[in-house]
């Protein structure tokens, strides 16, 4: 039932959002002529790698300068800053849900180096596909504002990621279809200004 629900919601979401997705794609392309999408390898169900899709919000090859985004990161494009503020850069992940690589609610997919540091926790969380949103996503919606620029990596690994994993594990223990609906509703409500 969960897979069917995710598939139907993702398909409807992509269909209904097609005009918005088209406008965003044109804005990203027009801004600097670079690729519209950014596809980054992330760890999925059973520790298998997949490419998470996003609208590109940074200059091309920005990930070569680090995986984390500082509060006023110079790598963000003008359009990208707006997309990230409203989480619109995440909308292409509905395609990842449609293909079964992700689901609507679940732990956020992470890059390999961070998963390796917390393999025990991820072993419990990645027995199913990662998700677009969950309580940790909502709690850390403005994660980049918490970073201290000189200590981002250390802060993420020692403070932020462990707390996000704790929230995701706590949610996973008592998760139900109705709690997922509540998380989805809270996510949509958090997108409105």
List pLDDT tens digits, range 24-81.
999 999 998 899 999 999 999 999 999 999 999 988 888 887 778 777 788 889 999 9
With beta carbons less than 8 A apart as the criterion, state whether 134 and 107 touch.
Answer: yes
More confident of the two residues 176 and 192: 176
If one compares 169 and 64, the residue with the highest pLDDT of the two is: 169
In this prediction, residue 19 has a pLDDT band, given cuts at 50, 70 and 90, of: very high
**Over 60: is that where the pLDDT of 179 sits?**
yes
User: pLDDT above 70 covers what percent of the chain?
Assistant: 99
Q: How far is Cα 46 from Cα 91, in angstroms, rounded to an integer?
A: 24
Token pair in block for residue 115: 């998963």
Residue whose entry in the numeric block shows the structure tokens 């790598």: 75
From the list 50, 63, 46, 160, the residue with the least C-alpha distance to 96 is 50
Residues in the chain: 193
The predicted pLDDT at position 105 comes to: 97
pLDDT of 21 over the 80 cut:
yes
Q: Which residues contact 141 (CB under 8 A, 6 or more apart)?
A: 87, 190
């Amino acid at each position: 039932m969960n897979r069917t629900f995710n598939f139907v919601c993702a398909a409807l979401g992509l269909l209904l959002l097609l005009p918005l997705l088209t406008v965003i794609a044109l804005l990203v392309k027009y801004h600097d002529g670079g690729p519209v999408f950014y596809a980054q390898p992330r760890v999925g169900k059973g520790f298998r790698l997949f490419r998470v899709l996003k609208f590109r919000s940074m200059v091309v090859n920005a990930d070569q300068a680090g995986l984390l985004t500082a509060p006023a990161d110079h790598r963000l494009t003008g359009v990208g800053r707006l997309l990230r503020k409203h989480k619109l850069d995440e909308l292409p992940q509905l395609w990842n849900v449609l293909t079964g690589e992700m689901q609507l609610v679940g732990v956020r997919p992470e890059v390999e180096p961070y998963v390796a540091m917390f393999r025990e926790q991820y072993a419990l969380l990645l027995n199913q596909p990662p998700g677009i949103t969950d309580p940790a996503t909502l709690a850390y919606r403005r994660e980049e504002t918490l970073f201290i620029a000189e200590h981002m990596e250390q802060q993420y690994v020692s403070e932020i990621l462990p707390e996000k994993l704790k929230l995701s594990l706590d949610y996973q223990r008592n998760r139900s279809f109705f709690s997922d609906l509540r998380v989805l509703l809270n996510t949509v409500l958090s997108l409105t200004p």
